[in-house]
Amino acid sequence: MGDEQRDAASRRPTMRDVARAAGVSSTAVSFVLNDREGARIAPETRARILAAAERLGFRPNLTARQLRLQQTQSIGMLTDGIASSPFAGQIIRAVQDAAWESGRLVLLVNTDGHTDVGRSAVRELLDRRVDGLIFASTVTRELAPLPELAAVPSVLINCFPAADGPQLPAVYPAEHAGGGLAAQRLIDAGHREIVYLAGDGDWPALQRTAAFRERMQDARLPVDAGAVVPGPYTIDSGYERARSILQRPDRPTALLCGNDRIALGALLAAQALGLTVPEDLSLVGYDDQEELAGSVHPRLTTVSLPFYELGRQGAETLLSVIAGEPVAARREVVGELVERDSVAAPRHP
């Protein structure tokens, strides 16, 4: 092996090496490997260049490409806890998938809800000249985005901006529509006495409760003072509320639950009282929580929170903003009714 060959083997291959191996000019190699439009390169020449690049293990100079495009091909992502959440982590997976498909990497920072950490993280990501930023919330809510997010294209996922803050594009669940799906499933099964074990007053609970009331009124069913019983999103709370309600002489034939944990508590309460689900009592949950809704007996009918789709649409929205394309200010993503085994027609319609 000559000195020139040894030098080429010991260093990173360049476009000049590819040109020499393919028997073409460096300009032709640049046109092909940078995928420049308008270059008139014969198909057989293009194939020869690509084959030479593959054989030599050529990798493009990303720094030069970034300088030319004025982009670092990276996205910064901030979360307030999703990185440690077992099922909302699907948002991160979807963002990574969409970014990878576009040739970008994701730089992730979990702030654990600390504003000072969030501000420092944004500064660090901006110093690394990310092409855009995503903030993803653990809980669907209204928030005041960090003003620093306005410095680059930014998108919110699973939350939406307050009226007095930066109006960033937002992608979040259609909670009202999802609540309507859950309530309608019980109404369609023939239930007339339905009690809603709601969440504890956060934005999703308010939206789902409003949908429950509307669907009941549309069906001309009564919604009295005891038809909605709010409380924490916990198994214990579901158990205590359901046990109290199910011991009434006029107990309902169905319980609509603010999430799957509440529904599990209600299921345990029904079983403790000697009731069977769905024969004596129908249950509908919410979230389609991994390793819960489909694992209990009977398996829970529920409404999914579309976390993966939230992440994908959020990332695609950001990529559109980076490209200078118009996007919707807000986009709601509807979950799906997941039919399982916890709903049946009432025994006494």
Clarify whether residues 41 and 94 are in a common domain.
no
Q: Give pLDDT, residue 225.
A: 85
pLDDT given for residue 164 in this prediction: 82
Total number of domains in the chain: 3
Which residues in the chain come in under a pLDDT of 70?
Answer: 1-11, 35-39, 60-71, 83-87, 348-349
In a domain, 341, yes or no: no
Residue at 297 is within a domain: yes
Sign of CA dihedral 233, 234, 237, 242: positive
Same domain, 322 and 280: no
pLDDT digits (tens, 9 = 90+) for 249-300: 999 999 999 999 999 999 999 999 999 999 999 999 999 988 899 999 999 9
Classify residue 339: in a domain, yes or no.
no
The reported pLDDT for the residue numbered 6 is 46
pLDDT of residue 38: 52
Instruction: Look at residue 134 in the predicted model and tell me its pLDDT.
Output: 96
Q: Give the domain range for residue 11.
A: 3-60
- What CATH number did the domain enclosing 12 receive? 1.10.260.40
**What pLDDT is recorded for position 320?**
95
Same structural domain, 96 and 155: yes
pTM across the whole model: 0.79
Amino acid 5: pLDDT: 45
Q: Considering the domain boundaries, does residue 18 fall inside one?
A: yes
Q: What is the pLDDT of residue 10?
A: 52
Report pLDDT for 11.
64
The answer as to whether 345 is a domain residue is no
The DSSP call for residue 106 is E
Same domain, 251 and 212: yes
HEC string for 177-239: HHHHHHHHHHHHCCCCCEEEEECCCCHHHHHHHHHHHHHHHHCCCCCCCCCEEECCCCHHHHH
Whole-number pLDDT of residue 60: 65
Residue 73 is predicted with a pLDDT of 86
278: CATH:
3.40.50.2300
60, 83, 106 — which closes off a domain?
Answer: 60
Domain assignment of residue 209, yes or no: yes
Integer Cα distance of 315 and 317 in angstroms? 5
Residue 109, classed as helix, strand or coil, is strand
Give the whole-angstrom CA distance, residue 173 versus residue 211: 14
Looking at residue 7, its pLDDT comes to 47
The pLDDT assigned to 57 comes to: 80
Rg from Cα positions in the chain = 27
Q: Are residues 139 and 220 in the same domain?
A: no
SS (H, E, C) 278-305: CCCCEEECCECCCCCCCCCCCCCEEEEC
Tell which of 60, 88, 105 closes a domain.
60
